[in-house]
Amino acid sequence: MKLNINGTAHDVDAPEDMPLLWVLRDRLGLTGTKFGCGVAQCGACTVHVDGQPKRSCVTPVKFVGNSKITTIEGLDSPQAKAIQDAWCDIDVPQCGFCQSGQVMTATSLLTEKSDPTDDDIDGALAGNICRCATYVRIRQAVHDAADKLAG
Amino acid sequence: MTTDTIDTGRREFLKHSALAGAGLVIGMTLPGRGRAQVPEADSGAAAFFRADATTADFSPNAFVRIAPDSTVTVLIKHIEFGQGPFTGLATLVAEELDADWGQMRARSAPADAELYKNLAFGVQGTGGSTAMANSYNQMRKAGAAARALLVRAAADAWEVPAGEITVSQGVIAHEGSGKTASFGEFAEAASEFEPPEDVTLKPADQFRLIGTDVPKLDTSIKSNGQAQFTLDVMRDDMLTVVVAHPPKFGATVAAVDDAAARKVPGVEDVQTIPSGVAVYARDTWAAMQGRKALKIDWDEAGAEMRSTEQITADFETLSEKVGNIATDRGDVAGAQPGLAKRLDAVYRFPYLAHAPMETLDCVIQAQGDSVEAWFGSQIQTLDQQAIGEVLGIEPGKVVIHTMYAGGSFGRRATQASHLAREAAEVAKVHGQSRPLKLVWSREDDIQGGWYRPLNVHRLSGGIDDDGNIVAWDQTIVGQSIMAGSAFAGQIKDGIDPTSVEGALNLPYRLPNLRVSLHSPESPVPVLWWRSVGHTHTAYSTETFLDELLEMAGKDPIDGRLELLDEHPRHAGVLREVAKLAEAAGPAPEGRARGVALHKSFSSYVAEIAEVSRGDEGPRVHRVWCAVDCGVAVNPNVIRAQMEGGIGYGLGAIMFDAITLEEGGRVRQSNFDGYRSLRIHEMPEVEVSIVKSAEDPTGVGEPGTPPIGPAVANAWRRLTGESVRDLPFVKPA
């Protein structure tokens, strides 16, 4: 089947029910997207499908069709850059394993809403678990990124 | 200081084990010099300055590599899973080397106990919040030695006295002649000299990097998906392996029907190993589908069939009798008649899974008498031993590439090396030289055991007419973590120190104090969980104390301070946290504050939590935290560890319990049943680091113990309810 990933067409040989997560990781070597739970509970596998955050661990590859899929490797927008810069400025990550998913979701939030409140951030990111509990800094970094984009 | 012998923590008694001879105590032979052949000329100083950090390393300082391009790579002997040793240890080297932070790099050291042992353990490994404490002088000396050699090379080349040469922010300079050079320019020349035997370390007032928030070295690659974890290791021709583990602890495979599994497209092999049935497949999805198709009969003869409800009841019965005596100060029994008021309490702590974000995984490739493994090995020396034992290879020849790991919280510090052993079994029975990636699913993780032990504590105590606490009697019932493991030598007179740490060495002036321990056995495997014994002892002691103080009509802060006259560092963090909370003004209507103070791993932490009534129980709005961990090498990392330790501990006391059903099956299987704290449940956290000139101590674990009792004390003051049965929110 043909997939559009990070702006490139890929011809992939995989069973139709294989979750997008494993196609990305095991077939295409795009390992920035992580496996955390397999049941859409933790958000470590978050990618963008046509701009919307999706849990790739429960998304059978047959359902993505011609959609535009963006992974952490293909993030390329002013919002994404602002988020990643803000992450670096205050050293958000600890172990780092969930952070691809956090960055993907935070980027979506900032793209939808340029000046999110604490409640907006909590609402958008409640599906992304961080076992290191870097939440205080995630919240701060999203605000910092919004401020920077606003100039 | 008083007789605070055990509270210096695992660090201290593991040090004793090292002194006693690691071979004897942990029942293993240290790996020999099984390293690759290295030319004679590469010994000594040359090893410092090779750009290629992958070739074998020789003593005395195998930690620093300076490349011709002036990048300085520090080989880090401690695993990086978020607590910051890559940055922290590189900071120590950079400080004494007078390097510029921008030229510093870090990478995992190879598995080699002789060169890279934890000086607190005697073997290579990370734990007990010892990374900074045991490395502080060693890494500074490594940096200072490298600096001395660069200076000597410059002095020779410039024909000036070494004493006139300065080094600052990566630049070697001689003022008189106006000459300057980078490190890279003298790296090769410096490698000709023998390293100095003695170096002088900087006095603290000359530190330029220590004590500052240098940016972490691994942040960027952990924000863009490039950091390589074990799960990300892809090798040519690799198979992915998942293992069907027994549904009850202690059960074993009786019979397997793998016909359907073998028909799943992509499945290449199915094999029975001691820990279950392994499915080998072309990719992870196929392996998981194959595992689902297995039909396995389990032999449950040796299995734990009791429910956790039953285990808890059994432990409670045991707690009615005094156990093995861990400490007995004064005369607890004799103090009973003089009590004006008494308090009796039974605490119940559930099994807890660690649930690190990255589940257990390991890539292994065995060929003849060589084997390589890529994984988040936390006690490399034990893992080398286990892999070597299974495959019949000398442990020193077991090559381990320690990868970035997605959290641990104790989960990867497997005292029995069960993961390394399973990986080696998977490789052995497969019998081919293909690389194999063993992956545990989240269900394997939550249901796979190696939990924080279930504990029951019984406390009785009381106050006299003047409100003095005159009796404190605590009986602890919980499985031993060390029993039967490489650490069993630490158990003395029936006391596993990790079962009672934090309870027997209370800093408070308590004239009559007894702590005893029962360590019943169960097939449920247990393991250290972020702060180990302190996870339950801090909770029981700090809530019990708080109730006694309330009974005596005393303020929780002042009441504690009165009892801490011989413990200035405890008192210091308590005063500091009180100041922080006070500066925030009084608690708003409908909220209450609670305090807790606990020393663990030689660091002192006090926390105040502000809570209100939430939908499910306490809603924690704010937490103030004061920590004294000696010299604060990187204050930003310390604050991050306090924030994270608080969030991790809060999630557990609020939501988490592993429960066994009648018959012994684990009820929870994933994050739906075993909840993690989420962002909307995370309080604001304010951290203050108490200034100290003492050598640095741990920060990975000590932030965790006080949060539970601080929340419980706040909740009791708000509602009158003492919560002694954790978690606050019972699992569905």
Confidence (pLDDT) at B29:
22
What pLDDT is attached to residue B462?
97
Q: What is the pLDDT of residue B413?
A: 97
Q: How far apart are CA B92 and CA B98, in angstroms?
A: 10
B226 touches chain A (CB under 8 A): yes
pLDDT at B20: 28
What is residue A23's DSSP assignment? I
Structure tokens at B258: 């793998």
* pLDDT (0 to 100) of residue B732: 74
Residue with tokens 């394993």: A97
Walk along chain B (732 residues) in steps of 10 and give the mean pLDDT of each run.
Answer: 31 31 21 28 32 30 89 96 97 97 96 94 93 95 94 97 98 97 92 89 97 97 98 98 98 98 98 98 98 98 97 98 97 92 98 98 96 98 98 97 98 96 98 96 98 98 96 98 93 97 96 98 98 98 98 98 97 98 98 98 98 97 98 98 98 98 98 98 98 96 98 98 97 78
- At residue A151 the predicted structure's pLDDT band, cuts being 50, 70 and 90, is confident
Q: Is B238 within 8 Å of chain A by CB?
A: no
Q: DSSP for B461-495?
A: EEE-TTS-EEEEEEEEEE--SSTTSTTGGG-BTTB
| Sheet with strand A2-5: strands edge to edge | A8-11, A2-5, A68-70, A46-49, A52-55
Query: Residue B398: what are its φ and ψ, rounded to 5°?
Result: -80, 115
Burial class (CB in 10 A: 0-12, 13-18, 19+), B602: buried
**Which among B347, B708, B345 is positioned nearest to B547, based on CA atoms?**
B345
Query: Which of B91, B232, B282, B357 best probes binding to A when mutated, by most A CB atoms within 10 angstroms?
Result: B357
**What's the whole-model pTM score?**
0.93
Is any Cβ of chain A less than 8 angstroms from the Cβ of B447?
no
DSSP secondary structure string, B657-671?
Answer: -B-BPTTS-BS--ST
Interatomic CA distance for residues B247 and B178, integer angstroms: 73
In this prediction, residue A15 carries a pLDDT of 96
Task: Give A145→chain B minimum CA distance, Å.
Answer: 14
Distances (CA, A) of B381 to B27, B173, B487, B523: 12, 42, 13, 25
Strands lying side by side in the sheet with B64-66: B64-66, B72-76, B104-108
Q: At what angle do helices B635-655 and A135-150 cross, to 10 degrees?
A: 120
Minimum Cα–Cα distance from B283: chain A residue: A26
In chain A, residues with a C-beta closer than 8 Å to the C-beta of B637 are: 91
How many angstroms separate the CA of residue A37 from the nearest CA in chain B? 5
Distance CA B529, CA B460 (A): 27
Give the Cα separation of B311 and B455 in Å (integer): 10
Tokens in use for B621?
A: 């709005």
Q: Is B199 exposed, middle or buried (0-12, 13-18, 19+ CB in 10 A)?
A: middle
Q: Is A95 in contact with B404 (Cβ distance < 8 A)? A: yes
Q: Report the pLDDT value the prediction gives residue B338, as an integer from 0 to 100.
A: 86
Interchain CB distance below 8 Å, A27 and B283: yes
Q: Determine whether the interchain pair A133/B648 forms a contact, defined as Cβ–Cβ distance below 8 Å.
A: yes
What number is the ipTM of this complex? Answer: 0.98
Check residue B302 and give its pLDDT.
95
- Cα torsion B149, B152, B154, B156 to 10°: value is -140
Using an 8 Å CB-CB cutoff, list chain A residues near B217: none
Tally A–B CB contacts below 8 A: 179
Residues of chain B in contact with residue A122, where contact means CB-CB under 8 angstroms, are 679-680
Do B265 and A121 lie within an 8 Å CB cutoff? no
Number of neighbouring beta carbons within 10 Å of residue B313:
14
Q: Which residues of B touch A29 (CB under 8 A)?
A: 234
Residue B624, helix vs strand vs coil: strand
- For residue B467, the model assigns a pLDDT of 96
Nearest to B285 among A19, A126, A138 (CB): A19
Which of B166, B135, B169 minimizes the C-alpha distance to B63?
B135
pLDDT at B37: 28
Total length of chain B: 732
Q: How far is A122 from chain B (nearest CA, A)?
A: 5
Cβ neighbours of B232 in A, within 8 Å: 31
Distance CA B556, CA A67 (A): 60
CB of B635 less than 8 A from some CB of A: no
Spatial distance between the Cα atoms of B62 and B383, rounded to a whole number of angstroms: 21
Question: What residues 273-302 of chain B have any CB closer than 8 A to a CB of chain A?
Answer: 283-285
pLDDT of B697 reads 96
pLDDT tens profile A34-92: 999 999 999 999 999 999 999 999 999 999 999 999 999 999 999 999 999 999 999 99
